[in-house]
Amino acid sequence: MSFTEELRREADPIFQAIFTHPFVQGIGNGSLQSEQLIHYVKQDFEYLNTFIQIYGQAIHQCDNRKDMAMFNEQISFILNSEIHPHNNFCEVAGVQYEDLQYERLAPTAHHYTRHMLDVAQSGSLGEILAVLLPCPWTYNEIGDYLKSEKQPNKSHPFYEWINFYSREKGEMNVTEDFRSRLDAYAKTASVHEKEQMKDHFIKSCQLEYSFWEMSYNQEKWPVL
């Protein structure tokens, strides 16, 4: 069993909880409220801005151009491709994507981004991969799960979102890129570093679940 297979096995209860979360189920059923979609997009826009910053820090730690290119491609992916699922939510909610950008982070989103930034600023490249991996991995599995369970057609309000994140058999994507690099890194990592990578990964998985909870409940700071 590879290192990332071990991580996935340990995190399985969190993945299963994400699949059954009411926000994820609401995507599958097409039953989410506009306010929930809007809150999600506002927070995810800022969250992904942090992802871009961490990719930049990861490039700084790379010692070869192949890894540099991979992280650079992911910056482009966020800027130019991951706007499509956001636009799907905005279309259903009846709002303009541009009107939902640069909002204040809610407590959970703030916690998640600080967790990732802390690891990026003080951890190894392997730790950065581990802290980032749950985001693409959980989303790919959500897309696969919803596509299999709901079998949406083009009339489904979130057809584009589900198809964006679901994977074709044998398709290579950022999840597989990150997994292969993390597995390779883990082969020479110390026992302590592997424990650190596992802790970062599991915490990010927990915060992925919390992000859906935040969006569903439209979480805000208690005193504004």
Grouping H, G, I as helix, E, B as strand and the rest as coil, residue 30 is coil
CATH of the domain at 109: 1.20.910.10
Residues, the chain: 224
Taking Cα atoms as reference points, which of 95, 75, 101, 97 lies closest to residue 85? Answer: 97
Q: What is the mean pLDDT of residues 40-61?
A: 96
Confidence grade of residue 167 (pLDDT, cut at 50, 70, 90): confident
Q: What is the mean pLDDT of residues 86-96?
A: 98
Q: Fill in the amino acid letter for 92.
A: V
Instruction: Evaluate whether 59 touches 68 at the Cβ level (below 8 Å).
Output: yes
Confidence grade of residue 224 (pLDDT, cut at 50, 70, 90): confident
The more confident residue out of 186 and 172 is 186
From CA 18, how far away is CA 146, in angstroms rounded? 12
Q: Is 222 within a domain?
A: no
Q: Is 62 a catalytic residue?
A: no
Q: Is 224 within a domain?
A: no
From CA 31, how far away is CA 221, in angstroms rounded? 26
Q: What is the DSSP string of 175-189?
A: HHHHHHHHHHHHTTS
Confidence grade of residue 172 (pLDDT, cut at 50, 70, 90): low
Catalytic residue among 127, 135, 141, 205: 135
Mean pLDDT of the chain: 96
Task: Return the pLDDT at 171.
Answer: 56
Task: Return the pLDDT at 89.
Answer: 98
Q: Is 75 within a domain?
A: yes
Q: What is the mean pLDDT of residues 43-63?
A: 96
**What is the domain range of residue 168?**
3-217
Q: Is 141 within a domain?
A: yes
Confidence grade of residue 170 (pLDDT, cut at 50, 70, 90): very low
Q: Is 47 within a domain?
A: yes
Q: Is 144 within a domain?
A: yes
Instruction: Evaluate whether 111 touches 178 at the Cβ level (below 8 Å).
Output: no
pLDDT tens figures, 3-50: 999 999 999 999 999 999 999 999 999 999 999 999 999 999 999 999
Q: Is 205 a catalytic residue?
A: no
**Domain count across the chain:** 1
Confidence (pTM): 0.96
Output the six-digit token pair for 145: 């799960």
Task: Return the pLDDT at 151.
Answer: 95
Q: What is the DSSP string of 119-188?
A: HHHHS-HHHHHHHHTHHHHHHHHHHHHHHHHH---TTSTTHHHHHHHS--TT---HHHHHHHHHHHHHTT
